[in-house]
Amino acid sequence: MSTTVLLDRAATADPMLPYMATVRAIRPEAYGISTFSLEYDDASVPLGFAPGQFNMICLPGFGEVAISICSDPNSPKIMEHTIRYAGSVTRAIGRLRVGDSVGMRGPYGTPWPMQLAEGKDLMIVSGGIGLAPLRPVILEALHRRSSFGRVLVLYGGRTPQDLLYTDEFEKWQNGGIEMYVSVDRADETWKGQVGVIPMAFYRTRLDHRNTLVFSCGPEIMMRFVIYEAMARRIPKEAIYVSMERNMKCAIGFCGHCQLGPVFICKNGPIFRFSQVESFFGREEF
Amino acid sequence: MVGSATPRVSATVVLSKPALQRVLDNLGNSGFQLIGPTVRDGTLVLAGIGNISELPVGWALEQKPGSSRLLRINSTDYFGCTVGPHSWKRYLFPPQTDLLTAHRNGKGWVFEPSPDDAPPFAFIGVRSCDLHAIAIQDDVFVNGNIRDPHYAHRRERAFIMATNCNTAASTCFCTSMKTGPRVHSGFDLALTELPECFVIEIGSEAGSDVLAGVDWQPASAFDLGRVSQLIQRTERQIQRQLTTSDLPKLLYDTIDHPHWDVIAMRCLSCANCTLVCPTCFCSTVEDHSDLTGSDTKRTRVWDSCFILDFSHLHGGNSRPTIKSRFRQWMTHKLGAWIDQFGRSGCVGCGRCIAWCPMGIDITEELSTLRSLGAR
Amino acid sequence: MPANGKPRVAVFKLASCDGCQLQMLNLEDELLDLAGQMEICYFLEARSQVLDGPYDVALVEGSVTTEHDLERVRDIRRKSQTLVTLGACANTGGIQALRNMQDVDEYTRAIYANPAYIHALAQSTPIAAHVTVDFAINGCPISREQLLEVLTSLLIGRSPQLPAHSVCVECKRKGTVCVLVSKGIACLGPVTHAGCGAVCPGFGRGCFACYGPMESANADSLCQGLAARGVPRPEILRLLNGFTGWAEEFRSAAERLERATT
């Protein structure tokens, strides 16, 4: 699916030219984080995205920013984006209301390898806002639950208030997804696990010959996830990570998102760990 | 055969030196804006020219690490100066490109691509290293899955008059990078300057067409021999070397090498090396709006991996030190580029060596890394 | 910015020459638009009418050189939502910070007929040494373009784009040939904050750092480089001790250079 979408976009005259999109809904997720549902105004814009891909969203005068699509790939007409108000552009997006407009272009980047996961156990490990690009994987797995073996979600946040999509967890669980949610620091409301997310590995049993790991979160978290997974004999070819770097164009021109031999925008953001192993977590690289 | 007809593609012809003016006139009359090396304010630049007398006749460029000086010499050569601080990317991938405008329209926006009103360019005197640099930028902007229409628009219309080098600077190392000094392909005309005439190879139909009405003669075997001798002489002048056989591995293996700290003591992170480099392609995108925010112009401007903002990410910077930024530049240029595009990002033009205010020499730093070995 | 009504803007001056404020008046094409978008409450250079605070934006020129300046800058900070400093004096102490390395009392006695009336602090200091600064516009004087960029950004509510890279980047983008490499002219461009549009090198002169040090400026290395090119050390020190000489990066580089000389 993703390849066709990319080729369609490539055919357009100016790949940096955004299309108009309208904010259809805004759902607050956590402090300073909301999910924006966006729909292209022009019905002729080709639709469709694969789990893990991202859009470039812009507000003229503020600039553009790369945001993962976090909604169900089976309903591509309205795409959801969970945005943390961190910089100039995202803060301005945070001031938008339903009915307001943004510019949008995409989707870009490599997807999570859903086909490879078919018939296998799928372990989704994420921290904080890193769950956003993995939510389409979960929603897709729910649609085709029988195509996969076990589907485990290991998800951690700093505090209970930092967790995303909590109102959906029950539905996911009822759909046959094993959820392990923990927080670094609990409060009186928290009934679940406490501890950093790689520790959740100690509460699961894995079939290392038949498991794929998808991970997205802070690089330090992913480093420990990879360590724990490999310690359980999961081969590095079966571990996939989503990387993040500063990005100005998303199409391989601006040069900002390079990590050694790869461009995060066009060779990623999803990488087989063995692809980026030599450069992963290297200080200041 | 002389004068009236135009030579066929891949033929080699001989022109008297003044006859080159007619070629330039033909190009100008065909709507090209001619860009060539010329002397302005005592320095060599690439700029609009119309007359062959504007070429740097009687000048030589003496280059060494951190220094590039124009010297008066007793010569009638039009193309005797090696490469200066400007490269052709100024014209194909300009320092600032208008991408689009956004105009507020009620609650929404109207996005419109910004037109590029640049005329077609004719590049006069493109050296082999720079021809390779253009091909390398083609890899980035037009040979991938997504084409950059701004670059493509200028590139497709450009006329290239290449020149074989009849002299080399101390900073040149094209022989190491296999990018020169002899021009092989990618030109409309390729010219070699002999003391009394130009020997010109026709590279394309367009190249052939601009010789209409010009007095030319087919080149003799003797002329071709003199051309080869001249280029061989230039080759022998090139002393600087860069060993490429262990790249990119050497650079990947030396990421944690303490020598990067030594370079960082000298490096100013001023970004000069990347901006004079004919292959560096990094850019940033800026929005400029009016006071009410209702009209915005989005532009793409030259950026550099030496600029701190380049690797800024919410919550921190992935390359906060000068060391990490220098390492990124050199590791990309000589190493990662090969993985990304199948060839080195360095063409051995020596600009980064000459135009570094501290005279940091990429060839020397690489050989130091190699001799100290992987850590 | 306030949700309703125009933002209230005030322009103040401490120890300075008025040149930065003048740049605001020099925004001839935009001045009327600006006046329409904001309420100018205090701008003695332009009008005598004075409206009391609080202000949404305070633009402050000049350095702190007297007790009175110090009281004023605290008062301005107290009254202002966003404080923007204008120029080399406000950001680094300015050319008047040259006296920071001398005995002020001695100067005062030598210059003024009645030194008893002079109440100067021992040092001329930047505003950020006393109160929090939200945005700093550099230069001597500031550039109109950067001032406009900051005002526009504040009006529409985004962070201003004030690139902190070197002046070299501006020279290269403009196509100005490096005066240091091509002519051996001493130039502080490689360690100086961009924003001026590389005016001096464009006229064949070296940069004297009126925009202050850039991000991660490696002034020590440049000093060594200039010395190696034969620029006399007193000349390098004179360059460093200029309009922004009291900026930490330049001050410490000058101190190290002096120590190395003696």
For residue C35, the model assigns a pLDDT of: 86
Confidence band (pLDDT; 50, 70, 90) for B53? Answer: very high
B286 to A13: CB separation less than 8 angstroms, yes or no: no
A248 to B311: CB separation less than 8 angstroms, yes or no: no
Residue to substitute from C159, C161, C216, interface A, most A β-carbons within 10 A:
C159
**A77: which residues sit within 8 A by CB, 6+ positions away?**
A39, A47
Which of B263 and B42 is assigned the larger pLDDT? B263
pLDDT at residue C32 above 70? yes
> For residue C231, how many other CB atoms are within 10 A of its CB?
19
Residue by residue, DSSP assigns B91-131 as: HHS-SEEEEEEEEEETTEEEEEEPP--PPPEEEEEE-HHHH
Share of chain C above pLDDT 90, in %: 78
Nearest beta carbon to residue A278 from set B113, B252, B296 = B252
Q: Provide the angle, in degrees to the nearest 10, between the axes of the packed helices B362-372 and B322-331.
A: 100
Separation of alpha carbons C25 and C19, rounded Å: 10
Residue type, A11: A
Cα Rg of chain C, angstroms: 19
Q: What is the mean pLDDT of residues B271-290?
A: 96
Contact C138, C88 (CB under 8 A): yes
Separation of alpha carbons C202 and C165, rounded Å: 18
Q: Output the CA torsion sign for B327, B330, B335, B340.
A: positive
Residue to substitute from B111, B280, B288, interface A, most A β-carbons within 10 A:
B111
For residue B107, the model assigns a pLDDT of: 83
B359 to C225: CB separation less than 8 angstroms, yes or no: yes
pLDDT tens readout for residues A205-252: 899 999 999 999 998 999 999 999 999 999 999 999 999 888 999 999
> Could you tell me whether strands B108-113 and B96-105 are parallel, antiparallel, or unpaired per DSSP bridges?
antiparallel
Separation of alpha carbons C223 and C204, rounded Å: 20
Separation of alpha carbons A204 and B107, rounded Å: 50
> For residue B346, how many other CB atoms are within 10 A of its CB?
33
For residue A199, the model assigns a pLDDT of: 86
For residue A245, the model assigns a pLDDT of: 84
Which of B191-200, B337-346, C38-47 has the weakest average pLDDT? Answer: C38-47
Residue C160 with chain A: CB contacts under 8 Å: none
Separation of alpha carbons B179 and B133, rounded Å: 9
Q: What is the pLDDT along chain A (285 residues), one digit of tens a residue?
A: 333 344 444 445 789 999 999 999 999 999 999 999 999 999 999 999 999 999 999 999 999 999 999 999 999 999 999 999 998 999 999 999 999 999 999 999 999 999 999 999 999 999 999 999 999 999 999 999 999 999 999 999 999 999 999 999 999 999 999 999 999 999 998 988 998 888 888 888 899 999 999 999 998 999 999 999 999 999 999 999 999 888 999 999 999 999 999 999 999 999 999 999 998 888 888
Tokens 């090119």 -> residue: C229
When the pLDDT of each residue in chain B is averaged and rounded to a whole number, the result is: 95
**In a 10 Å sphere around its CB, with 0-12 CB exposed, 13-18 middle and 19+ buried, how is residue B222 labelled?**
exposed
For residue B341, the model assigns a pLDDT of: 97
Cα angle value C91/C94/C98 (rounded, 5°): 135
Kindly list the domain boundaries of chain C, sorted by start residue: 8-156, 167-261
> For residue A144, how many other CB atoms are within 10 A of its CB?
11
CATH 3.20.20.120 describes domain C8-156: no
For residue A1, the model assigns a pLDDT of: 34
> For residue B291, how many other CB atoms are within 10 A of its CB?
17
Confidence band (pLDDT; 50, 70, 90) for B149? Answer: very high
> For residue C242, how many other CB atoms are within 10 A of its CB?
19
B358 to C222: CB separation less than 8 angstroms, yes or no: yes
Contact B150, B44 (CB under 8 A): no
Separation of alpha carbons A204 and A228, rounded Å: 11
Chains that touch C (3 or more CB pairs under 8 A): A, B
pLDDT tens readout for residues B225-236: 999 999 999 999
For residue A5, the model assigns a pLDDT of: 40
**A54: which residues sit within 8 A by CB, 6+ positions away?**
A66, A67, A68, A69, A106, A107, A108, A109, A133, A250, A269
CATH fold for the domain made of A2-108: Elongation Factor Tu (Ef-tu); domain 3 (2.40.30)
**A20: which residues sit within 8 A by CB, 6+ positions away?**
A40, A41, A42, A101, A102, A103, A104, B108, B109, B111
Closest residue in chain B to residue C180, using alpha carbons only:
B357
pLDDT at residue C146 above 60? yes
B292 to C155: CB separation less than 8 angstroms, yes or no: yes
Diameter of chain B by CA atoms?
A: 73
Share of chain B above pLDDT 70, in %: 98
The pair of structure tokens assigned to A70 is 């976090």
Nearest beta carbon to residue A61 from set B99, B285, B289 = B289
**B121: which residues sit within 8 A by CB, 6+ positions away?**
B32, B33, B34, B35, B91, B92, B154, B157, B158, B159
Residues 231-250 of A with CB under 8 A from C: none
For residue A9, the model assigns a pLDDT of: 43
For residue A283, the model assigns a pLDDT of: 82
Nearest beta carbon to residue A253 from set B140, B298, B327 = B140
Please determine, for the modelled complex, whether the ipTM score is greater than 0.90.
Answer: yes
Beta bridge partners of B16: B197
Kindly list the domain boundaries of chain B, sorted by start residue: 12-96+108-237, 249-372
Residue A89 with chain C: CB contacts under 8 Å: 158
B289 touches chain C (CB under 8 A): yes
Task: Determine the length of chain C.
Answer: 262
The pair of structure tokens assigned to C258 is 């002096």
The pair of structure tokens assigned to C53 is 């605070």
pTM of the model: 0.94
Residue to substitute from C221, C224, C236, interface B, most B β-carbons within 10 A:
C221
CA B311 to chain centroid: 25
Closest residue in chain B to residue A101, using alpha carbons only:
B108
Confidence band (pLDDT; 50, 70, 90) for C224? Answer: very high
Q: Determine if residue B352 is left, alpha or beta; phi over 0 gives left, psi from -120 to 50 gives alpha, anything else beta.
A: alpha
pLDDT tens readout for residues C164-218: 899 999 999 999 999 999 999 999 999 999 999 999 999 999 999 999 999 999 9
For domain A114-242, give the CATH number: 3.40.50.80
Confidence band (pLDDT; 50, 70, 90) for B291? Answer: confident
Chains that touch A (3 or more CB pairs under 8 A): B, C
Closest CA to C119 of C191, C177, C68, C179: C68
Separation of alpha carbons B255 and B324, rounded Å: 9
Cα Rg of chain B, angstroms: 22
B358 to C177: CB separation less than 8 angstroms, yes or no: no
pLDDT tens readout for residues B174-198: 999 999 999 999 999 999 999 999 9
